[in-house]
Amino acid sequence: MRKFKIKLEIAKVIIEIKSQDPLLRIRKEENPFYRKPFNDFIYKGREKHSVSITIQHVNALPPFDNVMQLFNANNGWVLYKQNKKYVYKIFLDGCNAVQVIQSNKKFDKIEVFLLSKSSKRYIVDSLYSICNFLRVILIHYLAIRKQGICIHSSGVGVSEDVGLLFAGKSGSGKSTIAGIWNRHCKTRIINDDQIIIRKSKKKYFMYGSPWQGKNIRNRCFVSHKATHIAKMFFIQHASKNIIQQVIAREALTLLYPVLFSIYWHKTSVKNSVLFCHELIRVIPCYRLGFVNNKRVVNFIKNVL
């Protein structure tokens, strides 16, 4: 039977997604993996994948026997532990249906179970759900290996391979400041909402992700190229532009609240915190209050 197979590369992690023929009943333009922003991350090289995701069409979803609830996200999914597997029960919006995702302990072998006799809408919604849930899988994968973190932030490239990172909670101005840099400097936008940070040869690099904020959705700005982080700014809207360098201890208190963390997994939490400690010792960190106009660009450039 003919199979569907696609590879994505996100922050240097190659993810293979495959399934049997029923998935191909939908047109390519309806498949979110072939639409922006995910089609920017399609990998066509020959390197072996690190994460395998198999989508299975079944007549009945796997039973929830001998499970222990670990986490309830309260936004559409619940996590359980079942023997040596982690099981995610996902409630799909709009079609009153459930999807089940199972993972091994290393988060490199994933199984997704879909009902085979479901509607086309169920299949499309399921694929969108998998697209969104890839973030959870990737954060797990990197955290348990102490290979990286994902934070609420936007990033801009100020040169070919050097960039600035702007971190903050929802409403702090991440999309706003990314838009300012793009409009007035024609700067390469890495992402305006969720940045992945990894370390290589004692340097820290940021990568864009397919999970984006309002500016990127509307304009399709995204860069998955590795960009060296020169400085990190913890931002907020203000009545005037103001900047202050912060010491490592204060930077950690500002960084941790914007971190996508695996709170229920002790090893992942420990590794993420250690990664943050190492990051802020190397990267100069600042508090930045800014006004929504182009003057903030030169204001920041004076710090570089």
Question: What are the structural domains of the chain?
Answer: 4-144 (no CATH), 149-301 (3.90.228.20)
- For residue 117, the model assigns a pLDDT of 61
Sign of the Cα pseudo-torsion (8, 13, 16, 17, in order): negative
Tokens of 161: 């391979």
pLDDT above 70 covers a percentage of the chain that reads 92
Predicted model pTM: 0.92
| CA–CA gap between residue 180 and residue 92 (Å, rounded) | 36
Taking residues 151-175, report their average pLDDT: 92
How does pLDDT run across 81-105, given as a tens digit for each residue? 998 899 999 887 655 667 899 999 9
Taking residues 47-51, report their average pLDDT: 97
Per-residue confidence band for 214, with pLDDT thresholds at 50, 70 and 90? low
Q: Average pLDDT, whole number, for the chain?
A: 88
Q: Is the pLDDT of residue 273 over 80?
A: yes
Name the residue with higher pLDDT: 167 or 19: 167
> Is-contact 97 76, C-beta < 8 A?
no
Which element (helix H / strand E) includes 250?
A: helix 248-255
Q: Is the pLDDT of residue 196 over 90?
A: yes
| CA–CA gap between residue 64 and residue 240 (Å, rounded) | 55
Most confidently modeled range among 112-116, 144-148, 208-212 = 144-148
Closest to 175 in 3D by CA, of 163, 189, 187, 188: 189
| CA–CA gap between residue 303 and residue 291 (Å, rounded) | 17
- For residue 221, the model assigns a pLDDT of 61
- For residue 134, the model assigns a pLDDT of 93
How does pLDDT run across 68-80, given as a tens digit for each residue? 999 888 778 899 9
Per-residue confidence band for 216, with pLDDT thresholds at 50, 70 and 90? very low
Range name among 19-23, 184-188, 287-291 with the lowest pLDDT average? 19-23
Helix (H, G, I), strand (E, B) or coil at 150: strand
Taking residues 189-217, report their average pLDDT: 86
- For residue 218, the model assigns a pLDDT of 44
